[in-house]
Structure 1
Amino acid sequence: MKKLFFLFILLISTTFTYSQEDTTVKGVVINASEGIPLESVNIVNLNQVKGTITNARGEFEIKAKATDTLHFSYLGFKSIKVRVTNDWIKFGSSTIQLTELAFALEEVVINEFKLTGFLEVDIKQVPINTNYRYNISGLQTGYEAGGSSTNAVTRVLGAVFNPADFLYSMFGKQPNEMRKLKQMKQDDEIRTLLANRFDREMLTALLQVDRADLDEIIRQCNYSKNFIQTANDLQILDAISECYEEYKVLSRSKNKGRL
């Protein structure tokens, strides 16, 4: 009798877990002031690290369960976070309203080159982007550096003997956030969304860090200021992930050396 009871409990819990994992929510995203649907709004489930975008009618469907948080972002509109409820899952579609941002355009300064007409002289005035990466034997990837990094080699060697401790201090006590990194790298939809973004907003929301800490992580991983300023969000994600993997390799090597 006890065996049958435990079998029944196991069956119920398995069915409940399965149903929880496979629930989805639907909705429509509209412009709050005009009431028109918004196409290509970025939507990310921050808990399950799943992403999608709205179609031409502003509609979306995304995998989610109760208490998950969805992050909605769209260029020129204020991003919002929405908590998934049991009622939303049970009763179907929901309407999400995004509010337009009011912002002033920053002044753009164009530097004028004084050309002489002599190619050999004029070519020296054109700034050259010399970003590149140093490869270190035994590591999966290398370290990016550039013309502005006068001590690039020293920084690379320093990274070998002093790995990315700042990265570990940020995420070492938060293993769930590091698991998110792996999930983000494996989800094609998330990678597509990040490849078209440069604002770091989705990354900071997913990793639960602010913009300053995110930039500091990349800097401590020996990436140049130019890379930090110009890389898209996907490149930043890959840089953080590579840095952490290298940190683990170096940490294991150090621990073996102490044995």
Structure 2
Amino acid sequence: MYPFMKKITFLIVILITTLSWSQDNVAINGKVLNDADDAPLENVNIVNLNRVVGTTTSKEGDFEIRAAVNDTLYFSYLGFKSIRVRVTNDWLKFGEIKIKMTELGIALEEVVVRPVQLTGYVEVDARIIPIYDNYRYRIAGLNTGYEGGSSQPGAVNKVLNAIFNPADFLYNVFGKRPKQMKKLRQMKEDDAIRNLLQTKFDRETLMAVLQLERVDIDEILNKCSYSSDFINTANDLQILDAISECYEEYKVLNRDRG
């Protein structure tokens, strides 16, 4: 009797595992339209934030992506408001659904830059250091100046790092977001997401997947000694690779300390 029950239990486990695996690997379909006129939108970027897989819409606005119930899909398209859509049981049951995106008016803000003298108080200096120009900086109480900009990448940041330990900031970003940081590798391994990021410069997809603000992304790269020129001009794929490299170095340093 016992061997028989054992076989039954084993079969039940196999069945549950198979059903769960199937549910996690369902291809769902949809169509993306312009909310203003119902015209199909081609090449809309779509990322499953839970499973870190991506795709784009066809000329007719159609798309297919693997997802499970309660996964969140992130839709982004130049000139349109990005949206998040949760996958529901109804979507899986009834098949294709229509997603409508709204156009945005893009206004460029004027940026004013000026040379500054650092105070030596990180709370103050973090707010006044310009990131769009190359200047020479001085910190009160120190005898030397430091070049900023592309000629000396990360020079100002390196000076501040000599006074303030950047490990605390990196721990707050990396150490407290283990699930998000694990998605870095998944993003790099998904060809659709890599192709998507290579054409983008707005950081929106990175922010959505990693659950970071743009200022956090910039600060990570600053702390890892990337220049302002790189931060401002790199595409999202280059930014992903830079953050990933920084994270790998962070893990090595923490392992050595342990």
> Taking structure 1 as reference, are residues 164 and 221 closer, same or farther at Cα in structure 2, changes over 3 Å only?
farther
**Equivalence map 1:101-116=2 (5 Å):** 101-105=104-108
- Aligned-residue CA RMSD in angstroms? 2.7
| CA distance in structure 1 between the aligned counterparts of 2:84 and 2:199, rounded to whole angstroms | 20
Question: What's 2:233 paired with?
Answer: 230
Aligned residues: 220
1:254 equivalent among 232, 253, 257: 257
The C-alpha deviation readout for 1:149-207, integer Å capped at 9, x for no partner, is 4848966x96xxx6754233213122211110110111111111011100001100000
| CA distance in structure 2 between the aligned counterparts of 1:105 and 1:254, rounded to whole angstroms | 45
1:146 partner letter: S
1:48 to 2:51 alignment: yes
| CA distance in structure 1 between the aligned counterparts of 2:225 and 2:36, rounded to whole angstroms | 45
1:215 equivalent among 210, 213, 218: 218
Question: What's 1:75 paired with?
Answer: 78
1:147 equivalent among 144, 151, 155: 151
User: What's the TM-score, normalizing by structure 2?
Assistant: 0.77
Identity of aligned residues (%): 57
> Taking structure 1 as reference, are residues 154 and 99 closer, same or farther at Cα in structure 2, changes over 3 Å only?
closer
Question: What's 2:170 paired with?
Answer: 167
| CA distance in structure 2 between the aligned counterparts of 1:232 and 1:52, rounded to whole angstroms | 18
2:203 equivalent among 181, 200, 205: 200
Asked if the contact 1:31/1:97 (under 8 Å) is kept, the reply is yes
Deviation of residue 86 (structure 1)? 1.2
> Taking structure 1 as reference, are residues 214 and 108 closer, same or farther at Cα in structure 2, changes over 3 Å only?
closer
Asked if the contact 2:154/2:228 (under 8 Å) is kept, the reply is no
Deviation of residue 46 (structure 1)? 0.3
Asked if the contact 1:163/1:247 (under 8 Å) is kept, the reply is no
Question: What's 1:126 paired with?
Answer: none
| CA distance in structure 1 between the aligned counterparts of 2:153 and 2:8, rounded to whole angstroms | 68
| CA distance in structure 2 between the aligned counterparts of 1:221 and 1:43, rounded to whole angstroms | 29
Structure 1: 5+ residue stretches without partners: 110-128, 130-144
1:21 to 2:20 alignment: no
| CA distance in structure 2 between the aligned counterparts of 1:61 and 1:149, rounded to whole angstroms | 42
1:177 partner letter: Q
| CA distance in structure 2 between the aligned counterparts of 1:240 and 1:105, rounded to whole angstroms | 27
Deviation of residue 219 (structure 1)? 0.8
Asked if the contact 1:32/1:97 (under 8 Å) is kept, the reply is yes
List structure 1 segments (4+ residues) > 6 angstroms apart after TM superposition: none
Deviation of residue 252 (structure 1)? 2.7
> Taking structure 1 as reference, are residues 164 and 108 closer, same or farther at Cα in structure 2, changes over 3 Å only?
closer
| CA distance in structure 1 between the aligned counterparts of 2:39 and 2:77, rounded to whole angstroms | 14
User: What's the TM-score, normalizing by structure 1?
Assistant: 0.77
| CA distance in structure 2 between the aligned counterparts of 1:204 and 1:196, rounded to whole angstroms | 16
